[in-house]
Structures are given as structure tokens and as C-alpha cells.
Amino acid sequence: MPAFGEVNQLGGVFVNGRPLPNAIRLRIVELAQLGIRPCDISRQLRVSHGCVSKILARYNETGSILPGAIGGSKPRVTTPTVVKHIRTYKQRDPGIFAWEIRDRLLADGVCDKFNLPSVSSISRILRNKIGNLSQQNQYESIKQASHPAAQPTPPYNHIYPYPTPIAATAGKVPTPPGMPTLPGHMAMHRIWPSSHSVTDILGIRSITEQQISDNPSFPSAKLEEWNAINRNNFPPASSALVNGMDKPHLEPEAKYTQTPNGLPTVTNYVMAPSMPAYHPATQVSPYMGYSATTSAYVTGPTWQLANGSALSPHSCDITTPLAFKSMLGTCDAIHPVTASAF
DNA sequence: CCCGTCACGGTTGAA
DNA sequence: CGTTCAACCGTGACG
């Protein structure tokens, strides 16, 4: 039980062993795009500079702000080839037993006795992979358009199954045997393709944060929620946005349609500032620290000046990067403990 | 001071 | 169904 979260030297909240929330990861990248130095980003967001450095480096390399896939293990014997053969056997003879498959793998020379999967492994493949395949197919047929024809064999490297040119695998995932690495150059595509304006970025940002903090499910102050946030994808509504945020995990259903460009639409931009429904104070999320911090940022920035009320006297306004130095009081205000309105 | 890097203690999840 | 273990995490410290 990872407890609740710890506080780092900068006063930021983090959960040991777990990735920072996407909202913060995104913010780090956004601030960097605005030309703010990493050291200032670190202080502003209260994230260690090592982490800022890492996230930015990864973003530069892969185009993704998302954390890598955690956990799991590479198949030791159940290589794509093996899975493919097993599938074939099963299709030809649906009643085939796992041990029969095992025998056949050996007989057909697919495996030798050293990399021959155990019966239980084969059962698991049957259960998980083969079964999943049909499910996936169903799913894909439902949402067909969104993405390029599925690979014939789902790569066991599920880590960054990007259908897009953004190859997050670059430099990260050691080439698994039999798994071609994606060309590194493909990782060079940037999101926010042509838009460097603050407003565009802000447009993106407000939408995103809505997605993230809008998450209504905070039944318990459990860290798992976080996982949900991290692991699940954003609600489909954010598809335009997700363009900039590739999902590393194949797992849950939603893959997002890749819009031709990641630019926020005009509507997005318009919506952001006029969005009436910002009630940051009411956003009680399990990641109090994080979302409190996030909401502080949501309320703070100057584009909200329009309605005046949202303006916080000592917000961590991105336009005044160093302001935080004089707002220690605010730090307390957004601190998880004090921020939680329980 | 800034920033890249890495040991550390941690979590996760497929095998 | 429980255990293993290699993947990833962010922090903090070093250089």
C-alpha cells in the first residue's frame, strides 16, 4: 500500500513508483514549449528536475508525454511465431488440447525442446491471446475507421503500439528477438505541428485538463484511481488532443483516431476561456495533491482574467514563471492535505 | 546555477 | 491462483 503520496523537496506530491499524472506531464511539456527553462518548470510544478529532464527528453525523442508501460514481462517462449502457430492449430482443430499443440509445435519444428512452451503457457495463450484476438477484432470492427489495419500478429511488445509515425519505442525498448525496432527517425515528429502560439497551446491545455480533472470517478481516495487515469485513456471526446498524447498501453479499448494535425480547433480555443464550469474548488480527486495543484493552475492563468473572478492573486501563472517564489502561502493552499476539503 | 545521469526504493503485470 | 522478475516510476544526489 503506497500510502498516500509523499512530498518531495520542492513541496510537490508524488507517489513512489508511480508515474506523475498526465496533467502534470503535459504541463511540463507545455511550459517547455513556451520557452520556460526546465529548472523553472521544475520549481513551478514542484517536480524534481531529474524528472522534468526525463519527461522532456522522452517527449523530444518520442513525441509522447506518457509514461512507459510498467510491469509485465516479455514472453520467454510465446513469441509471435509461436502464437501464430498455436492460433493456426486451434483454428484447424478447435477441440485440440494444449498438450497436442505442444507436441505439434515440437513436431513442426516451430520450437525445440528448449523453447517449447509449457502446457500451461499454451493454455494461457489460448485463453488470453487467442481469445483477445477475437475480441479485438470485434472491437475494431466497431470503431473501424480510426486506425490502420491491425497488424496480423499483435506485437508482443505492446508497449508503444503506435499506429502513428510517432515511434515511442525509439531508444527505449531494447529490440526483442524477432521484433523489428521501429526506425528511430520516425520518432521525430512533433506534436503541435505548426502552432506555437500561446493561445493554441492554452487551448489544448484547458481541454486536456478538463479531460483529466473532469474525471468524475473519485469514489475513494485510492491510488488506483490514478492508475485509472494513467492507464485508461482520456474520454473519446479528447481525441483531437490525444493526438499529442499517444497511449502506451494497448490494453483498454480506446485507441484514438488520429486527426491529421493536432491543432486545437477554433471551437476548442473559444471554449477554453469562456468555459463557465470551472469549479476547481469542487474538484476533489483522489490525487488531491495532484489535482489540487492542477486545478490551481487551471484557475490561475491569465486567460481567465476575462471573468475576473477566477483570478487568483498568487496563482502559479505560467506567464509569470517565477511568481511562485513569492507565493509560499499558496503552496500550502494547494497542498494535498490542506487542499482536501474532506 | 543548470542539467544530464543514475542509484535507490518503489509498483506493476505477463509469464 | 500465487510467485517471479524485468520492466517502468520519480526522487535526490553527484558531477
A240 is near strand B: CB distance < 7 Å: no
pLDDT attached to residue A274: 32
Say which nucleotide is closest to residue A10, CA to C1' distance: C11
pLDDT attached to residue A30: 97
- What whole-number distance in Å separates Cα of residue A291 and Cα of residue A5? 13
Say which nucleotide is closest to residue A16, CA to C1' distance: B10
- As a rounded value in angstroms, the CA-to-C1' distance for A105 and C10 is 44
Overall pTM surpassing 0.85 (yes/no)? no
Footprint of strand C, using CB within 7 A?
Answer: A 8-10, 12, 14, 16-20, 25, 47-51, 54-55, 67-74, 159, 172-174
Q: What is the mean pLDDT of chain A?
A: 55
Given a cut of 50, whether residue A75 has pLDDT beyond it is yes
Measured CA angle at A302 (ends A299, A60), to 5 deg: 85
Residue pLDDT, tens place only, A16-45: 999 999 999 999 999 999 999 999 999 999
pLDDT attached to residue A223: 37
Residue nearest to nucleotide B5 (CA to C1'): A50
Q: Has domain A77-121 been given CATH number 3.30.43.10? A: no
- Average pLDDT over every residue of A226-238: 37
A35 is near strand B: CB distance < 7 Å: no
- Average pLDDT over every residue of A154-181: 35
In terms of pLDDT, which residue wins out, A69 or A160? A69
- What whole-number distance in Å separates Cα of residue A323 and Cα of residue A78? 54
Given a cut of 90, whether residue A301 has pLDDT beyond it is no
Chain C: bases < 7 Å from a protein Cβ: 4-13
- As a rounded value in angstroms, the CA-to-C1' distance for A223 and C10 is 16
Distance of CA A287 to the CA centre of its chain: 16
Give the start-to-end residue ranges of the domains of chain A: 6-62, 77-121
Given a cut of 60, whether residue A82 has pLDDT beyond it is yes
pLDDT-based confidence at residue A58 (cuts at 50, 70, 90): very high
The rounded percent of chain A whose pLDDT value lies above 70 is: 37
pLDDT attached to residue A3: 54
pLDDT attached to residue A1: 54
- What whole-number distance in Å separates Cα of residue A58 and Cα of residue A60? 5
Given a cut of 70, whether residue A317 has pLDDT beyond it is no
Chain B: bases < 7 Å from a protein Cβ: 1-7, 9-15
pLDDT attached to residue A43: 97
A37 is near strand B: CB distance < 7 Å: yes
Given a cut of 50, whether residue A123 has pLDDT beyond it is yes
Residue nearest to nucleotide C8 (CA to C1'): A70
In terms of pLDDT, which residue wins out, A95 or A249? A95
A127 is near strand B: CB distance < 7 Å: no
pLDDT attached to residue A95: 83
Provide CATH code, domain A6-62.
Answer: 1.10.10.10
User: Concatenated DSSP letters for A311-331?
Assistant: --TT---TTSTTGGGG-HHHH
Do the domains A6-62 and A77-121 sit in the same CATH topology, yes or no? yes
pLDDT-based confidence at residue A117 (cuts at 50, 70, 90): confident
What are the start-end ranges of the H helices in chain A? 22-33, 38-45, 49-62, 80-92, 98-107, 119-124, 131-142, 198-214, 223-231, 239-242, 266-274, 288-299, 328-333, 336-339
- Average pLDDT over every residue of A100-116: 83
